[in-house]
């Protein structure tokens, strides 16, 4: 049993709203029901376009079934989830209409993209934010993934109403989940993970971070990830079509660990940065972050259950990564980064990455990176405390489940 629960506090207004929702449910009233077909039908009407790709339809159907049968969403959770899914469906239809109206968007070239694919909670977010400060890099931003249509232009990329909208939404999340800032750096105009892109394809780990949906995850890990990343590339083409271009796209997601082969199939000229940290830190830290997010959508979040789930998920993803890594011949396109070295001297690691890939680190870009590190020190919003004991996972289980990865990790040291 866990030694201590992960305590997540919410404001009284949220607790009251969810109590009302529980009362409605006991009375037989299903507030804010989720129906995949209705979400897509509305998006088709709003976007004025019908999707031909079955993947988002299949993914949304699998997701809604899992949400309704397993997630135990609260009243707020159902409202928020339905709103988010409708927004994603609306955006997807509008983007596909843009391709239909302007087929040359599909001719946009994506050259030498950079992917940060390390383990969760291993420094990927800060590294992503640092490299984004290089003027040769363009990362998809949070607001661009949440409200992508129309494609941003040089005139409105830095300031527009969509950024303001997402900033207000993030502020509400920080109010509803006060400890979230301790665990994850996030801003409306900060670089966003690829999971927000694949969420528009309804084939994304993002939904697992928001709710307990085990049957959806079973569907997700068997889905065609090459097709999923084909949509990912299509999204980058759409964003780029507005005229905001840089020499290299800068992408990031720990979930790419489970689809390295598919990543290189879609992006054969990609450069990949893999960050590494011992799983006895990855598993409890990831559990703590996921539990905080899931608690916003459900009053029944169980950190111990989530801990065992995360233990298994990332063990499987690492196994897939090691398999694909052994079979891939392009080691020159991959660089490994150890978390402890990155935590000790971030700029030294950045310099090593640049040297490996033959990039130039300009003086003005270095100044921006160093300024960011001063302004966003670790623990700025409070210490993020976590442990295996909190989630009922033992060191022996970590050693057993991650034996092959730990052997690989030892070889890097």
User: The sheet that has 114-116: what strands, in order across it?
Assistant: 137-138, 248-252, 114-116, 271-276, 334-338
Average pLDDT, the chain: 92
Number of other CB atoms surrounding residue 72 within 10 Å:
16
For residues 369-396, average pLDDT: 81
Q: 361 near 354, Cβ under 8 Å?
A: yes
Distance of CA 5 to the CA centre of its chain: 25
**pLDDT over 80 at 86, yes or no:** yes
For residues 19-35, average pLDDT: 78
- Tokens linked to 87: 């927004």
H runs (alpha helix) in 298-394: 303-327, 339-344, 346-357, 363-375, 388-391
The Cα angle at residue 345 between residues 399 and 120, in degrees rounded to 5: 40
Q: Is the overall model pTM greater than 0.85, yes or no?
A: yes
**pLDDT over 80 at 339, yes or no:** yes
Percent of the chain whose predicted confidence (pLDDT) is above 70? 93
Distance CA 155, CA 20 (A): 45
**Whole-number pLDDT of residue 19:** 75
Give the least confident one: 4-8, 164-168, 294-298, 327-331: 4-8
Burial of 347 (0-12, 13-18, 19+ CB in 10 A): middle
Q: 205 near 223, Cβ under 8 Å?
A: no
**Whole-number pLDDT of residue 248:** 98
Collapse the DSSP code of 359 into the 3-class scheme (helix H, G, I; strand E, B; otherwise coil) and give the result: coil
277 band by pLDDT with thresholds 50, 70 and 90: very high
**Whole-number pLDDT of residue 8:** 60
**Whole-number pLDDT of residue 106:** 98
DSSP 66: H
**Whole-number pLDDT of residue 186:** 77
DSSP 331: G
For residues 31-56, average pLDDT: 95
For residues 80-95, average pLDDT: 97
Distance CA 364, CA 276 (A): 29
- Main-chain dihedrals φ then ψ at residue 249, nearest 5 degrees: -80, 145
386 band by pLDDT with thresholds 50, 70 and 90: confident
CA nearest to 295, candidates 183, 405, 156: 183
Region of 41 please: left (phi>0), alpha (psi -120 to 50) or beta. alpha
Distance CA 103, CA 97 (A): 10
Number of other CB atoms surrounding residue 78 within 10 Å:
22
Element (H, E) at 230: helix 225-240
- Main-chain dihedrals φ then ψ at residue 328, nearest 5 degrees: -95, 135
**pLDDT over 50 at 101, yes or no:** yes
At 125-155, the pLDDT tens digits run 999 999 999 999 999 999 999 999 999 999 9
**pLDDT over 90 at 377, yes or no:** no
14 band by pLDDT with thresholds 50, 70 and 90: confident
At 236-266, the pLDDT tens digits run 999 999 999 999 999 999 999 999 999 999 9
Distance CA 63, CA 141 (A): 25
Collapse the DSSP code of 248 into the 3-class scheme (helix H, G, I; strand E, B; otherwise coil) and give the result: strand
DSSP 147: S
At 158-208, the pLDDT tens digits run 999 999 999 999 898 888 777 656 555 678 999 999 999 999 999 999 999
279 band by pLDDT with thresholds 50, 70 and 90: very high
- Tokens linked to 323: 């398999």
405 band by pLDDT with thresholds 50, 70 and 90: very high
Distance CA 38, CA 283 (A): 37
**pLDDT over 90 at 11, yes or no:** no
- Tokens linked to 403: 């034996």
**pLDDT over 60 at 383, yes or no:** no
402 band by pLDDT with thresholds 50, 70 and 90: very high
**Whole-number pLDDT of residue 34:** 96
């Amino acid at each position: 049993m866990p030694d201590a629960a992960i305590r997540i506090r919410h404001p009284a207004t949220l607790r009251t709203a969810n109590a009302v929702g529980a009362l409605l449910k006991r009375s037989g009233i299903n507030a804010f029901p989720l129906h995949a077909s209705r979400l897509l039908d509305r998006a088709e009407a709003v976007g004025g376009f019908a999707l031909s790709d079955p993947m988002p339809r299949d993914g949304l159907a699998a997701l809604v079934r899992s949400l309704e049968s397993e997630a135990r969403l609260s009243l707020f959770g159902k409202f928020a989830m339905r709103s988010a899914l409708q927004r994603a469906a609306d955006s997807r239809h509008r983007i596909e209409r843009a391709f239909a109206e302007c087929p040359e968007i599909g001719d946009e070239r994506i050259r030498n993209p950079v992917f940060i694919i390390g383990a969760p909670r291993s420094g990927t977010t800060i590294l992503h934010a640092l490299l984004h400060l290089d003027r040769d890099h363009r990362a998809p931003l949070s607001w661009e993934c949440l409200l992508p249509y129309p494609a941003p232009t040089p005139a409105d990329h830095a300031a527009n109403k969509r950024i303001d909208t997402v900033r207000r939404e993030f502020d509400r999340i920080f109010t509803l989940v006060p400890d979230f800032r301790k665990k994850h750096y996030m801003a409306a105009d900060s670089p966003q993970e690829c999971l927000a892109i694949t969420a528009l394809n309804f084939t994304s780990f993002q939904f697992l971070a928001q709710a307990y949906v085990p049957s959806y995850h079973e569907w997700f890990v068997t889905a065609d990830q090459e097709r999923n990343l084909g949509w990912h590339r299509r999204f980058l083409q759409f964003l780029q079509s507005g005229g905001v271009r840089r020499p290299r796209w800068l992408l990031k997601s720990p979930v790419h660990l489970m689809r390295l082969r598919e990543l290189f199939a879609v992006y054969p000229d990609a450069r990949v940065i893999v960050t590494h940290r011992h799983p006895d830190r990855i598993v409890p830290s990831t559990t703590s972050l996921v539990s905080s997010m899931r608690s916003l959508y459900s009053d029944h979040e169980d950190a111990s259950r989530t801990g065992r789930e995360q233990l298994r998920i990332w063990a499987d993803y690492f196994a897939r990564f090691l398999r694909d890594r052994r079979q891939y011949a392009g080691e020159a396109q991959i660089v490994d980064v150890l978390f402890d070295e990155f935590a000790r001297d971030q700029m030294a690691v950045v310099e090593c990455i640049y040297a490996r890939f033959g990039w130039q680190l300009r003086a003005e870009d270095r100044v921006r990176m160093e300024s960011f590190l001063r302004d966003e020190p670790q623990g700025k919003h409070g210490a993020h405390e976590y442990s295996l004991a909190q989630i009922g996972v033992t060191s022996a289980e970590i050693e057993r489940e991650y034996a092959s990865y730990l052997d690989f990790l030892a070889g890097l040291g």
